[in-house]
Structure 1
Amino acid sequence: MNASPNLAGDAIPQLSVFCFSDVARDSFAEKYEQLLSTARLADTLGFHAIWTPERHFHTFGGMFPNPSVVSAALAVTTQRIAIRAGSVVLPLHDPLRVAEEWALVDNLSHGRAGVAFAAGWQRNDFVLMAQNYRERQEILFSSLEQIRALWRGESATRHELSFPGHPEPVTLQTWPPAYQADIPVWVTTGSNPLLFSEAGKRGLNVLTHLISQTHEQLQENCARYRLARHAAGLDPAGGKVTLMMHSQAGEARESLLPRLRPAMTGYLRAFMQLSENLNAPVLDREKAEKKKAYALKWGVEKYLDHYGLFGSAAECLEQLQQLKREGIDEVAGLIDFGMPQESVETTLRTLATLL
């Protein structure tokens, strides 16, 4: 189906691309080449943005240890597509470094940079900044405000060089200055209604997903976001809610399912392994394995039935129209979850008919 650009474009969210591969140790170089090829194709086809995450110490997302480095490469290999981090785990970093790195990406891209910031959830990641783990939610917003001030050209005063009784404050500006006067900012959250409200109150965008919330909960959270903007004196229709969704398009959904199911199973299995260190110690291994197998099977079917953007152009258009009605402004299609590269490219070409 070649949908009319005006008809589809007015009725659906903006369409972007999200890359978040689970990669075996011996295939990273090839995957980086595929990432750059995917970015160039998405750029040519008119997609709104390309998103990459921050992940550490695991094959799940492990090819993205620093989204600013990846984004610098994406910036110089593309022409018009927005370059986004989804997300910088802010409590792992010094705000001064984040401001410097993303100002560089913003200049390389001539003002196409945008950053989603997250508090972090994976306990092992915090070996990089262990002292911030317990207060990561508070640090997220305090550091975020520092970064926004630095991007505006304001100075920061630091006291790390001081000794007891001998204050030696240092006042700094970061360089280079960003290309944009104010780089677009998102707050990343799953189902936390307080974070939707906080983002709305602060005039920030939201990056979210369906891992930990239903469509009904997401719709409620979008409403909370708009109400918070209104209460803060901001245009409630302003701001942006971006939804990350596993996506594969080109054939009817039913014909895609035999290939989607094993890809989704492998991807979600890796995600569950990443999450295992957050759980309590296992006392009954056999029972735990059965529970995990059930959760994996249920999770795969949940995505295939309700929570993924899968199918023909017509099927995807219908789903995107519904998401727009539910308050979603942008859908970032996660396309590299185990399907072959030719399927990724077919997905982009199919979804591009809806732009």
Structure 2
Amino acid sequence: HDPIRVAEEWSMADNLSGGRIGLGVASGWNADDFVFFPERFGRHRQEMYDGLEEVRSLWRGEALRRTTGDGEREIRLHPRPVQAMPPLCTAVVANPESYERAAEHDLGIVTNLMTQDIGQLRENIARYRRARARHGLDPDAGRVAVLLHTYLGEDHDTARADAFEPMARYMRASLSLFSGVTNSLGVATDMKSLSEDDLDVVFRRAYGRYCDQRALIGDVDSVLPVADAVADAGADEIVALVDFGVGADQLRAGLPRLDALRRRHRDRQPSS
């Protein structure tokens, strides 16, 4: 995305919302997503940070010099945004250097547990906060949100069974994603060489481990330890990722249970 377009569209949204937007940025990873700018693939992470600085510059009211149809012009943002600067975050997963880079650029973190465990998450969050301090930023002001696949049922076993097929389809839609998750859980294999039946066996082996350690799939009591562990690792927020393919009626039925989990988890956290 061109930084000028990003800044202009979100400045408009900032005005319409009365200054309530926040922005998340990511570099992308799928080569097919770079059809507009194929030359950027391979250096897309640096391109993201370069583009973000241009968005910030425009947001502050500064001009960017660009080539138009009849020469070079200075481009400024219109309408002017309401917020001096919106909250900004970036998506990272398990690479420790990505946490440090986000800290250097004063970005919050959105992450998940698909290819890192709780221990690695704890280490990465600590690394992120140390890096913020090194760059003269308040370590605790950088927010870390952790996305967890979530489906809560009346009882643990039924919820696990109901979520199995949707989660299998979700994971197997991308072999690279599927491979990263299973390898991280200790179920290492060459996915490209496996038949459909073999892939099913691999997923069944990984599914229980994933739900036990890295997801909120079960009932309120059975998933509470995962929520507590994520908070204890230093996360500021847990984001319930519910749209991985569970039926709409089942999803809606689980929302009151999600609220019950939220209240139980909140009550167990130490008061500040």
Deviation readout 1:200-236 (Å, 9 max, x if unpaired): 1222101111222222111111111010011112111
Letter in 1 for 2:104: K
- Using the alignment, how far apart are the partners of 1:177 and 1:217 within structure 2? 41
Are 2:110 and 1:220 aligned?
A: no
- CA gap of 1:250–1:259, structure 2 versus 1, over 3 A, is closer
Q: 2:102 aligns with which of 199, 208, 229?
A: 199
Query: Which shows bigger deviation, 327-336 or 103-112?
Result: 103-112
Letter in 2 for 1:271: S
Alignment of 1:160-175 (within 5 A): 168-175=71-78
- Using the alignment, how far apart are the partners of 2:206 and 2:22 within structure 1? 31
Are 2:225 and 1:322 aligned?
A: no
Q: What is the SS of the residue equivalent to 1:190?
A: coil
Alignment of 1:284-303 (within 5 A): 287-289=193-195, 292-303=199-210
- Using the alignment, how far apart are the partners of 1:209 and 1:286 within structure 2? 24
Query: Which shows bigger deviation, 180-189 or 285-294?
Result: 285-294
More helix by share: 2
- CA gap of 1:285–1:253, structure 2 versus 1, over 3 A, is closer
Q: 1:230 aligns with which of 124, 130, 133?
A: 133
Asked if structure 2 preserves the Cα contact closer than 8 Å seen for 1:158 and 1:170, the reply is yes
Deviation readout 1:261-280 (Å, 9 max, x if unpaired): 1121121122338889xxxx
1:153: how far off? 1.8
- Using the alignment, how far apart are the partners of 1:352 and 1:275 within structure 2? 30
Are 2:253 and 1:350 aligned?
A: no
What do you get for the CA RMSD once the two structures are aligned?
A: 2.5
Matched residues, number: 251
- 1:209 matched residue in structure 2: 112
1:160: how far off? 5.6
- CA gap of 1:350–1:107, structure 2 versus 1, over 3 A, is farther
Deviation readout 1:152-209 (Å, 9 max, x if unpaired): 22211113658xxxxx421111222223221111111111111101111222101111
1:302: how far off? 3.4
- CA gap of 1:134–1:339, structure 2 versus 1, over 3 A, is same
- Using the alignment, how far apart are the partners of 1:227 and 1:273 within structure 2? 31
- 1:145 matched residue in structure 2: 53
Letter in 2 for 1:262: E
- Using the alignment, how far apart are the partners of 1:248 and 1:285 within structure 2? 27
- CA gap of 1:196–1:152, structure 2 versus 1, over 3 A, is same
Asked if structure 2 preserves the Cα contact closer than 8 Å seen for 1:122 and 1:275, the reply is no
Gaps of 5+ in 1: 1-92, 163-167, 277-283
Letter in 2 for 1:184: P
- Using the alignment, how far apart are the partners of 2:110 and 2:209 within structure 1? 21
- 2:148 matched residue in structure 1: 245
1:332: how far off? 1.2
Letter in 2 for 1:123: A
1:144: how far off? 0.6
- 1:309 matched residue in structure 2: 216
Are 2:173 and 1:266 aligned?
A: no
- Using the alignment, how far apart are the partners of 2:11 and 2:219 within structure 1? 39
Q: Which has the higher contact order (CA 8 A, sep 6+)?
A: 1
- CA gap of 1:338–1:285, structure 2 versus 1, over 3 A, is closer
- Using the alignment, how far apart are the partners of 2:176 and 2:228 within structure 1? 34
- 2:247 matched residue in structure 1: 340
- Using the alignment, how far apart are the partners of 1:174 and 1:295 within structure 2? 51
- Using the alignment, how far apart are the partners of 1:312 and 1:285 within structure 2? 31
Letter in 2 for 1:330: E
Letter in 2 for 1:130: P
Asked if structure 2 preserves the Cα contact closer than 8 Å seen for 1:249 and 1:351, the reply is yes
Asked if structure 1 preserves the Cα contact closer than 8 Å seen for 2:171 and 2:178, the reply is no
Are 2:32 and 1:129 aligned?
A: no
The runs of 4+ residues in structure 1 deviating greater than 4 Å are 273-276, 290-295
Asked if structure 2 preserves the Cα contact closer than 8 Å seen for 1:197 and 1:225, the reply is yes
- CA gap of 1:318–1:135, structure 2 versus 1, over 3 A, is same
Q: What is the SS of the residue equivalent to 1:113?
A: coil
Q: What is the SS of the residue equivalent to 1:237?
A: helix
- Using the alignment, how far apart are the partners of 2:191 and 2:101 within structure 1? 40
Alignment of 1:109-120 (within 5 A): 109-120=17-28
Q: What is the SS of the residue equivalent to 1:246?
A: strand
Q: What is the SS of the residue equivalent to 2:139?
A: coil
